[in-house]
Amino acid sequence: MVKELIELGKSIVIAIIAAFLIITFVFETVSVDGHSMDPTLNNKDRLIVEKVTYYFKAPKPGDIVVIKYPADPKEKFIKRVVAVGGDRVKIENNKLYINDKPKDEPYILEQNMRDFSEVTVPQNTVFVLGDNRNNSRDSRYPDVGFVDYKMVVGRAALRIYPFSRFGGLALNEPLYFGFAMDIQSKYLT
């Protein structure tokens, strides 16, 4: 009986350690709080955020990411990366420009945006915007600003709730928690 209790205790400890490691390094779930990503993500949507991709490569434009709010790192925001280090960003006449080229953004809620003077994104940072530009606290505001790679928690990969909108969010990218399949298809075919 004592031996069985010890084995059960070991199993519980291993399960707790495994869960901690998975949540810390592989993926976690988050809930959308607010309307800054409407219509792509709605208030109370539940997402799986995968964390492995950004161990191997930097975020890129189009990625929907979870970031730690720079003013309070315990708080998390969900935004879309629109520019990376070295890019020049501005909003003029209701249009986003990256390196002087207008960006086609079929996912944004309203074209009605206030102008934003041109800035150059520093290396190792990203410039993020909400898809609902008129209702988003994002890189246009000093308390968010340029987001250092270290503040990027991971990539929003899958909407798991509501079930009627279940599905992937990544743009033509493999999920790296299945990266062995990506490597296999890239190098063994």
Q: Which residues are catalytic?
A: 36, 79
Distance CA 189, CA 186 (A): 7
Residue 78 tokens, joined: 């969900």
- d(C-alpha 146, C-alpha 23), whole Å: 26
Helix (H, G, I), strand (E, B) or coil at 185: helix
Tally of CB atoms within 10 A around 122:
14
For the four alpha carbons of 101, 107, 112 and 115, in that order, the dihedral sign comes to negative
Helix (H/G/I), strand (E/B), else coil: 125: strand
Identify the three-state secondary structure at position 129: strand
CB 40 within 8 A of CB 107: yes
